[in-house]
Structure 1
Amino acid sequence: MTPLRDLFKGVLGFGLVSIPVEVYKAVEDEHIPLHWIHRPCGTRIRYRKYCPTCDSLVPDTEVARAAETENGGLVVLEEPEPGARSGGEAPAIAILGFHGLEEIDPVLYRAAYWLKPGKGGLKAYRLLGEVMRASGRVAMAELERRGHRQLALVRPYPRSAALLLHTLYAPASLRREGEAFGGEPVALTRQELTVATSLVKAMSRPFRPEAYPNREREALLARIRAAAPAAGPPAAGGAAEELLAQLRASVREAREEARPARRRA
């Protein structure tokens, strides 16, 4: 697992209190990168930007982003300059209000990040966390970074003093047509409910993360190991001993090659 590295440093705004924070990715990406290759030679395939109208490759300097309009046309969106995009200010996480965690539907969660208190921010950081724990509240916030704004949620981590930041989808993004699924009238007997409840109780146990491994990842890793060429046994004593053994073997081979030459002479 790769070591934690801060993605960016910012300021968490709690009323008139500004808490310097460092933001770290909270969840390791379990995806194992796979590459498309040209099977005959084993070379990775390259993808190039191509314009069918001009029948030519397109350099990055000529690439622009465009949005599709209602009538099917395209509107080019000019990218702001890097300095103008950030405004020269640290990313801000502004708390907008507090709610019960159960009020925020998990369907809106995007990604999770650790918040680490920056220099001079530990006391205010701990104060915010303790107040949220005591009140059973989480903070709805707005993350502004590089000229972009995104809804976010700040909550205390239940197993330590740490705070977590979750980026969120906007509530209006939820496709509510799905709320009707499964709502057709159906008759459930008392016996069915009793047996189903008994099954749920029988399968209920304390949550243990290690009980739910990523079996898909494990199976893919096993396939990769099986397909990889077998490595020779490592030399004892580490890299220095291995180098010394290779040098000694080279000397022996050189001597063996020199013997017939001496006999012929």
Structure 2
Amino acid sequence: MPARSIASLSLSFGLVSIPVKLYTATESSSEVRFHLLAPDGSRVKQQYISEKTGAVVERSSMNKGYEFDKDRFVVFSSDELKALEDAASHVVEIMAFIPEKAVNPVFYDKAYYIAPDKRGGKPYNLLQQALEKSGRCALAKWASRGKTRIVQVRPEQDGLVFQQLLYADEVRSLGDLHVEHVQVSDAELKLALQIIEQGAEDNYDPAAYEDEEKKRILAAIDEKIEGKEVITQEAVESTRGGGQVIDLMDALRASLKGGGEKTKSATAPRRKGAEPVTEIPVAPKTRKPAARATKSPAEAPAKVRARK
């Protein structure tokens, strides 16, 4: 659990009020960040330039405007915009209890954790256990930073997750893509299910995977610090015939036989009347031993940490 909370809230559960503290659930600072530099090696700063006069405009003298027509704006002052904002509230009101899987993950926005504050332990645990036993999660309203947001409160083994949700108009519809629906045979479906079963795992273990790109970047940074030349690796081309037109049944059988590797059957001529398809290579999983995944920040490259 993060050491410092970002807000103190009161979760309203019927007539019960649960004092909680809010914590961020994700860490964006783990990303390797680069700064923009001038040719002389000094850092550069951003400036705003007036399109009309070309003069530099200070942020303190700027206004915000909405473009309602081409190059026509209605201007709002800071006070006018502040008056339109929802008043922040420390009370999070639960509106409904819905099945735990009722929210499509595409609506998930930022995730937080909530932990009980002083005298909140018993009602907090009561809500957590009641949600677990019922198989439901809570939908609540949360007014923060000038906007009312919808959040999902769902139980996990160690506590409650406070999941901010997107509104309907913030999520595009998959139906807008007009995906073509093509009939598949029972034999093709059976083979596809066998491939899925062949690669099936009981659950997702995030510790079994690592950010390979970040690992390469940190290694390159260390090399730069030590004055070494960074060797550029050429991209390895797939040997699986990514754009080759093959028979779907042959590709499915080959996937079962060789774990997806190209075989003679995969490149054989199509049977008469068989539907041609384009093979889509599936990238192999990049895994690492679970023991390495528990690496603490203290084990990161020393030279990189020293320059953060």
Pick the TM interval, shorter chain.
Answer: 0.7 to 0.9
Equivalent residue number for residue 98 of structure 2: 99
Residue 83 of structure 1: CA displacement? 9.8
| Greater fraction helix | 1
The answer to whether residue 199 in structure 2 is matched with residue 210 in structure 1 is: no
**How does 1:20-59 map onto structure 2 within 5 Å?**
20-29=19-28, 30-38=30-38, 40-59=39-58
Does structure 2 retain, via aligned residues, the 8 Å contact 1:108–1:174?
Answer: yes
How far apart are residue 138 of structure 1 and its match? 0.5
Aligned to 1:245: none
In 2, Cα distance between the equivalents of 1:147 and 1:120?
Answer: 29
C-alpha change, 1:53 and 1:144, in structure 2 (3 Å) is same
- Which residue, 164, 169, 184 being the options, matches 2:166? 169
Amino acid at match of 1:171: A
Match of 1:223 in 2: 220
CA deviation string 1:13-43 (max 9, x = no partner): 11222211111110111422211111x3211
Which of 1 and 2 has higher RCO (CA within 8 Å, sep 6+)?
A: 1
- The answer (yes or no) to whether the contact 1:93–1:143 under 8 Å persists in 2 is yes
Q: Which stretches in structure 1 are left out of the alignment for 5+ residues?
A: 231-265
Q: Distance in 1 between matches of 2:175 and 2:80?
A: 42
Tell me, in whole angstroms, the C-alpha distance in 2 between the residues paired with 1:197 and 1:134. 32
Root-mean-square deviation over aligned CA pairs: 2.6
TM-fit CA distance, 1:189: 2.1
Instruction: Give percent identity, aligned residues only.
Output: 28
Unaligned runs of 5+ in 2: 228-308
2:196 is matched with 200
C-alpha displacement of 1:76:
2.3
Per-residue CA deviations over 1:57-109 (Å, capped at 9, x if unaligned) read 2222212222222566322233349998785x653321110111221110000
Equivalenced residue count is: 224
Question: Residues of 1 paired with 2:149 and 2:86: CA distance?
Answer: 14
**Partner Cα separation in structure 1 for residue 15 and residue 69 of structure 2:** 43
1:71-82 matches, cutoff 5 A: 73-80=72-79
TM-score, normalized by length of structure 1? 0.75
Which residue pairs with 2:120 in the alignment?
Answer: 121
Q: Name the residue aligned to 1:239.
A: none
Structure 1 residue 224 displacement after superposition: 1.6
The alpha-carbon distance between structure 1 residues 48 and 5, as it changes in their structure 2 partners (threshold 3 A), is same
Shift of 1:191: 2.2
CA–CA separation in structure 1 for the residues paired with 2:130 and 2:223: 52
| Alignment check: 8 A CA contact 1:100 1:136 kept | yes
| 1:183-194 pair list within 5 angstroms | 183-194=179-190
